[in-house]
Chains A and B, each alone.
Chain A
């Protein structure tokens, strides 16, 4: 039997769903709930029996308050939502920059994701598969096997200033599933990153902008660099989500090369100029 909530509010698919949502002024779990509701529920993205990868940013040995890693409460809420939608298994991992044991622990993500029932795993060196990229600069690149094999992927970056890429959002967060010497991506960054990203775009991108890092990125280090924005952006198009996060920092698309290049190369699912965005204010 279909639950009452489903048929009472049943809407024709995609016709009425916004292409992206921006939710403001709430706790991480409330922001997520509102965003998912507007997008048609997690059920729209995760089907019963799916193996889901939730990919937060766990890159740094920093506590949540310093906004270097994704908000652990948001990760917890997303994992719960996946299971509620019928996911068989939810995996959480990231290829960290600092010592992985320290990052997983001090970001509090391991603790919260495990509490929600996720398999929190360290990246193992034997689990990278070389993926053909066939770009102009990158011919192939090792990508994490669990990421490639997952039925659905939810990319959960935190919005941060970044010296190289100006900002780090959804497109940049995908570097956490890339193996090899990632430093080599840093020259001709926009072209190389978008070439690889084009092959591994996620099902859904949820940008954590509860706290954002405005300086000394990507790892911050002082509360002075953190701004509380209590915002969340979600879209099934990574480029659109990233684009919508730029005003948080006061940037335009022209200033952020890798997002601009991604749009030019057709990584965006929607036309950024005519994006159908639903803005929700919970306050």
Chain B
């Protein structure tokens, strides 16, 4: 019974996440904040506290989770987390081995605590990498970059392909229009870093082949934090004397939290309150019940002093290594952040790489992209603007509205239109008027600023046949350019653009920037 309720709640939370995902696009009202679910992540208040030494009410959903965990245990993991639900669904297809077989991995339990410890030490040393491994961030990242684009590309092209056939062509055309109007009004998304993000999720899902919820049992840092908090959990699993030691509950346990030599106890640190145990207990016996205990027993957190010290040492090494790469100037120069992004160092600390801004970007996977590594490992999957494939819509401020950690500060449209994210420069070697002495002006035509940031010098040029003609040579007025990149995007040259956006304007923020 309880297990069935849990399953329904799991599905509802999963659908809620998907709904918020679909709502995160133009036109966006913001009545239900699209980043709400992301702020459920229990890691957020912890690392926000480490960074700022205050508790932010922005993360109220996570604070609620942290508050209920000592009473109810890891319900977040068992009932709420969409990554957990995804793994549960995957296990239906992947058929993970029985707990008796997979229990040999049990010594890995300490890995997640070492992992969490390492992330905390790194954060104290001012390197925030936890966002990569936050389960909600992972799920949103994968949904944005892999699952949703995969779904739309298959659906769109299937329907389009069928329109060319006789008989069903018209039906398919109608379905296609409906699909484009309701489900995918935006253009098909194409992302860089796709391969690595697929690999990342494929590993997490693939580990289901080793044991059920492998990620949650052994690796998830959020699970580790909640595990520590539920050490003394008040809601206890009781097993009455009618138990016949059939071990069915042990086999059904997603987390292998019931010791094989002692089914009367539970590892409260590991248990995610899925209630599978009670529902598999044979109905004639029904030995398992749940009750409040005001003097609960406590379970052990699998992390010894030695492991703790090892993790500490490894973390210091990691911080050192992260500081080693060459601060390559020209690579930094093409690295553009979304409008409203905090100063680079602060931005890398706060961004959790959830790709929510990438998701809501009006251009849908054309402008904002999960970033690649330019000069610093930490740049991986941090949103960056790619102006050749997309451009920042002048009248759009959506990416600034949905950042769960406010690494991108909310900007009004008027503020955003004044926010300089870069500056356009010409490559006169290939720009059509400069290279061929022919008029072009596409960049100027598209320039959206109130007074155009691209203007012309009109010059008389002598042609090969001796005749003279007038050509308009474009140039950028640096005070007016905000780096929206529509010029770079619309440049009619087939490959490299004759005008491109560089970061120049924010040069000074690199002073003292470790990388």
Contact = CB atoms under 8 A, between A and B. Distances in A.
Contacts of B314: none
A126 interface: yes
B436 A99 contact: no
A97 interface: yes
Nearest to B181: A122
Give the interface centre of A102, A218, A222 by most chain B CB atoms within 10 Å.
Answer: A102
Given A122-B180, A187-B436, A189-B439, A162 B445 contact: yes
A217 to B, nearest CB: 8
Contacts of B432: 187
B448 interface: yes
Interface string B156-170: 000010010000000
Instruction: Please list the 10 inter-chain residue pairs (A to B) with the smallest Cβ-Cβ separation, ordered nearest first.
Output: A183-B492, A164-B441, A187-B438, A183-B442, A221-B450, A61-B395, A222-B450, A99-B362, A186-B440, A126-B160
B468 to A, nearest CB: 16
A121 B494 CA distance: 29
Given A122-B180, A181-B492, A164 B395 contact: no
Contacts of A5: none
Contacts of B490: 97, 183
A101 B185 contact: yes
A73 B27 CA distance: 23
Interface in B402-442: 432, 436, 438-442
A201 to B, nearest CB: 23
Contacts of A188: 438
Interface string A78-106: 00000000000000000001110110011
B409 to A, nearest CB: 22
A186 B441 contact: yes
B163 A126 contact: yes
A136 interface: no
A219 B491 CA distance: 17
Interface in A149-197: 162-164, 181-184, 186-189
Given A126-B163, A183-B490, A187-B440, A61 B393 contact: yes
A101 to B, nearest CB: 6
25 contacts: A61-B393, A61-B396, A99-B26, A99-B362, A99-B393, A101-B26, A102-B362, A102-B395, A122-B185, A124-B177, A163-B444, A163-B472, A164-B439, A164-B442, A164-B444, A181-B494, A183-B440, A186-B442, A187-B438, A187-B439, A187-B440, A219-B445, A221-B448, A221-B451, A222-B451
Q: Categorize the interface residue count of chain A.
A: 20 to 34
A255 B439 CA distance: 16
B325 to A, nearest CB: 36
Given A183-B492, A186-B492, A105 B27 contact: yes
Contacts of A221: 448-451
B452 interface: yes
B394 interface: yes
A124 B163 CA distance: 13
Interface of A: 61-62, 97-99, 101-102, 105-106, 121-122, 124, 126, 162-164, 181-184, 186-189, 216, 218-219, 221-222
Interface string B372-384: 0000000000000
A106 B492 contact: no
Contacts of A219: 445-446, 448
B266 interface: no
B456 interface: yes
A183 B491 contact: yes
A102 B396 contact: yes
A216 B451 contact: yes
B395 A106 contact: yes
A99 B448 contact: no
B302 interface: no
Nearest to A181: B492
B186 interface: yes
Interface of B: 26-27, 160, 163, 176-177, 180, 185-186, 362-363, 393-396, 432, 436, 438-442, 444-446, 448-452, 456, 472, 490-492, 494
Give the interface centre of B26, B176, B492 by most chain A CB atoms within 10 Å.
Answer: B492
A182 to B, nearest CB: 8
Contacts of A216: 450-452
Contacts of B185: 101, 122
Nearest to B27: A105
A218 B442 CA distance: 11
Contacts of A98: 393-395
A173 B124 CA distance: 59
Contact of B445 (A101, A164, A187): A164
B445 A218 contact: yes
B473 to A, nearest CB: 12
A148 B505 CA distance: 47
A221 B394 CA distance: 10
Given A164-B441, A221-B451, 11 more contacts: A98-B393, A99-B363, A99-B393, A102-B395, A126-B160, A164-B444, A183-B440, A183-B490, A186-B440, A187-B439, A216-B451
A126 B180 CA distance: 12
Contact of B456 (A62, A122, A163): A163
Contact of B446 (A97, A99, A101): A97
B493 to A, nearest CB: 8
Nearest to B157: A126
B312 to A, nearest CB: 49
Nearest to A126: B160
A218 B438 CA distance: 20
A128 B446 CA distance: 23
A106 B396 CA distance: 12
Give the interface centre of B26, B163, B442 by most chain A CB atoms within 10 Å.
Answer: B442
A121 B174 CA distance: 12
B440 A102 contact: no
A122 to B, nearest CB: 7
Contacts of A182: 492
B118 to A, nearest CB: 42
Contacts of B446: 97, 219
A219 B453 CA distance: 13
A237 to B, nearest CB: 26
Nearest to A224: B450
A262 to B, nearest CB: 18
A163 B492 CA distance: 16
Contacts of A121: 177
A182 B363 CA distance: 19
B139 to A, nearest CB: 26
B389 to A, nearest CB: 14
Give the interface centre of B160, B177, B445, B494 by most chain A CB atoms within 10 Å.
Answer: B445
Give the interface centre of A105, A181, A187 by most chain B CB atoms within 10 Å.
Answer: A187
Contacts of A106: 395
A124 B188 CA distance: 12
B241 to A, nearest CB: 65
B130 to A, nearest CB: 34
